[in-house]
Every structure is written in C-alpha cells, then in structure tokens.
Copies of this chain bind each other. A is one copy, B any other.
Amino acid sequence: MENIIMEPLQQTNLVITPAELLAHWQDHRNLTRRVIEAFPEDKLFSYSAGGMRPFAEMAIEMIGMAVPGLNGVITGKWEDAYELPHHSGKTKPSTKKELLKVWDEVTAKINALWPQIPAHRFQEHDLAFGQWEGPVYFFILYWIDNEIHHRAQGYVYLRTLGIEPPHFWERQ
C-alpha cells in the first residue's frame, strides 16, 4: 500500500478565512456608507416608500447590531441590541454628518474587535441577543445580509427620488 498524503479535513472545508469575511463585511459597509451619502439630507430621515422606514432608521439598525453583535460573538454575552441604537453614548444621529460619524466609529470598532473572535466561535452554536439560535458564522452572515437587504431598499428610495445609486458591485 502506498503512502497517501491526506490533506487535513479542515483544508477541504476552507471556504473563506476570518480576515476575508471581515473584508467582505467592511466592503459592504463601505458601499452602504456611500448610499447614505447619496441621500439628500432631508430625504435621508424622512423619505420612504410603501409605509417602510426612512433609510436613516435602517442604517441606525445596522449600526445598532454591529458592535453589540461582535461583543456577543467574542464573549458569548449578548446585550440587547434593540436598546442600543447607537454606540457613541450620545443621542441618536439626526443629521447625515452625525450618522456618517457614528458609522465610521463603528467601522473602526469592528476592525478592533474582529481579531478578538476566538477561532472556535465561528462554528459554535449560541443564542444571539437571547432570541436567534444557530451557529455564530450564521449570525455574522445575517448582519451582512440584513444590511444588503435594507440597503437595496435604500436603492429603490433613491431611484424613486430620481437619484442614481452607487453601483452594487463597486465596494471600494
């Protein structure tokens, strides 16, 4: 019988590394930032379609999930995201400038927190925010997917306002 060099099982399972997933998320966040910028100041906080929320409220939801979510991923302790609509400890952003400032603070916090995720956590099951059961990788994908979902609704808002949104495929 010949000696067969088997690659480790994990090698055959490697789809995306933690660093690549972080970059993927931040690239999406960068596009979302440009969608926020594309809104006229007043429309950002007031305009909507179909009885939905203005885009600023959707962006504040994204902000509200990111850092409490990552803290839960790292520590296993979950704060209540719904009581944390922002991270600056100040009042909820009410201008585009304030919203972008908090957005950028969250960008930096995500980059600082990400390397603290213990490697085994991605595949571990947990109960996120006391209500979502599943593997940790799914929670992170959920936050990204939720951002893509609401950002796309912002695209429709922009188009109905006659504003061309940034290209979906340009993330930088």
Contacts and interface: CB of A to CB of B under 8 A. Distances in A.
A11 B137 CA distance: 14
Interface in A13-34: 13-18, 20-21, 24, 28
B12 A15 contact: no
A52 interface: yes
B122 A146 contact: no
A38 B47 CA distance: 25
A7 B10 CA distance: 10
Nearest to A145: B148
A159 interface: yes
A123 interface: yes
Question: Which among A50, A119, A142, A168 has the greatest number of chain B C-beta atoms within 10 A?
Answer: A50
Given A138-B24, A152-B150, A159 B14 contact: no
Nearest to A156: B156
Contacts of A15: 15-18, 21, 122-123, 137
Interface in A147-166: 148-153, 155-156, 158-160
Contact of A14 (B10, B51, B138): B10
